[in-house]
Amino acid sequence: MAKLPDRYMEERRQEILDAASAVFVEKGYANATMNDIAARADVSTGSIYRYFENKRDLIAAATNQCVEGDLERWSTELPQGVSPGMAFLALGQQTRDRFTSESHIAECVLRLESYLACLRDPELREQVVPIMEASVRLLADYIRGAQESGELNPSLDADAFARFLHVVGAGIGAHSVVYGPEFDTDSAWNQLIQLASLWFTEDFRSRMQQGMDASMPGNGADK
């Protein structure tokens, strides 16, 4: 049998993964079947096993893909040429924008389904936790960078604070699922930003204020 091109294999794998994600969101991980996923992807059930060993591998891949997207955005889509503290703030704004996007609710549901499944399946947990830890470490790196530049208080435990922000972000996502459109994501996120700002140094606060003043209409730059 001729070997299928790698690009075709990757595209078909992604189609199956997208179908699995949609089914997990609609039916829940426990109720979803491989037949459901095959029907959504318009492939035979046997075809799925060419790419994924079982349903556990599917939800692990789907959930990890969400976190990989975070890591990619945090690594490549933040503004260039700014201080570490401003990059840290930009990361927060980027995440906030994603929380308010229409597609984010489905992603939050998918993550919640994987968390529950991890509770009952230690093997799944071993597949999911490492990349979650990678996202915490990257966030901690941004915090350390802002500490080294004198923009965040050096006494702050970067690892613990990164995990705290990670947990609160997950909680905001979970509540947005429960409350739906009634949940005020902006207010919750503003409270988180205000809390984080307590650790900004006076010098950084001053520079931030100067930047905001300079952007206001009627300042000297507009004359």
Per-residue model confidence as pLDDT tens digits over 53-109: 999 999 999 999 999 999 998 888 888 888 999 999 888 888 888 887 777 899 999
Are residue 76 and residue 46 in the same domain, yes or no? no
pLDDT number for residue 99: 80
Are residue 3 and residue 66 in the same domain, yes or no? no
pLDDT number for residue 223: 41
Are residue 23 and residue 61 in the same domain, yes or no? no
Are residue 133 and residue 162 in the same domain, yes or no? yes
In angstroms, the CA 217 to CA 223 distance is 10
Any domain includes 222: no
pLDDT number for residue 186: 86
Are residue 26 and residue 64 in the same domain, yes or no? no
Any domain includes 28: yes
Q: Of 9, 25, 52, at which residue does a domain stop?
A: 52
Q: Of 52, 72, 94, at which residue does a domain stop?
A: 52
Higher pLDDT, residue 117 or 99: 117
pLDDT tens for each residue of 121-176: 999 999 999 999 999 999 999 999 999 999 999 999 999 999 999 999 999 999 99
The CATH number of the domain holding residue 75 is: 1.10.357.10
pLDDT number for residue 2: 46
- The least confident of 13-17, 23-27, 74-78 is 74-78
Are residue 19 and residue 112 in the same domain, yes or no? no
- What's the total number of domains in the chain? 2
The contacts of residue 116 (CB under 8 Å, 6+ apart) are: 29
Any domain includes 223: no
Higher pLDDT, residue 215 or 167: 167
Are residue 48 and residue 59 in the same domain, yes or no? no
SS (H, E, C) the chain: CCCCCHHHHHHHHHHHHHHHHHHHHHHCCCCCCHHHHHHHHCCCHHHHCCCCCCHHHHHHHHHHHHHHHHHHHHHHCCCCCCCHHHHHHHHHHHHHHHHCCCCHHHHHHHHHHHHHHHHHCHHHHHHHHHHHHHHHHHHHHHHHHHHHCCCECCCCCHHHHHHHHHHHHHHHHHHHHHHHHHCCHHHHHHHHHHHHHCCECHHHHHHHHHHHHHHCCCCHHHC
In angstroms, the CA 35 to CA 45 distance is 6
Are residue 44 and residue 151 in the same domain, yes or no? no
pTM (2 d.p.): 0.84
- Burial classification of residue 137, based on how many CB atoms lie within 10 Å of its CB (0-12 exposed, 13-18 middle, 19 or more buried): middle
Any domain includes 220: no
pLDDT number for residue 218: 57
Range of the domain at 31: 1-52
pLDDT number for residue 216: 47
Are residue 108 and residue 184 in the same domain, yes or no? yes
Are residue 12 and residue 112 in the same domain, yes or no? no
Are residue 85 and residue 189 in the same domain, yes or no? yes
Are residue 12 and residue 104 in the same domain, yes or no? no
Tell me the pLDDT band of 1, cut-offs 50, 70 and 90.
Answer: very low
Any domain includes 18: yes
The CATH number of the domain holding residue 5 is: 1.10.10.60
pLDDT number for residue 221: 47
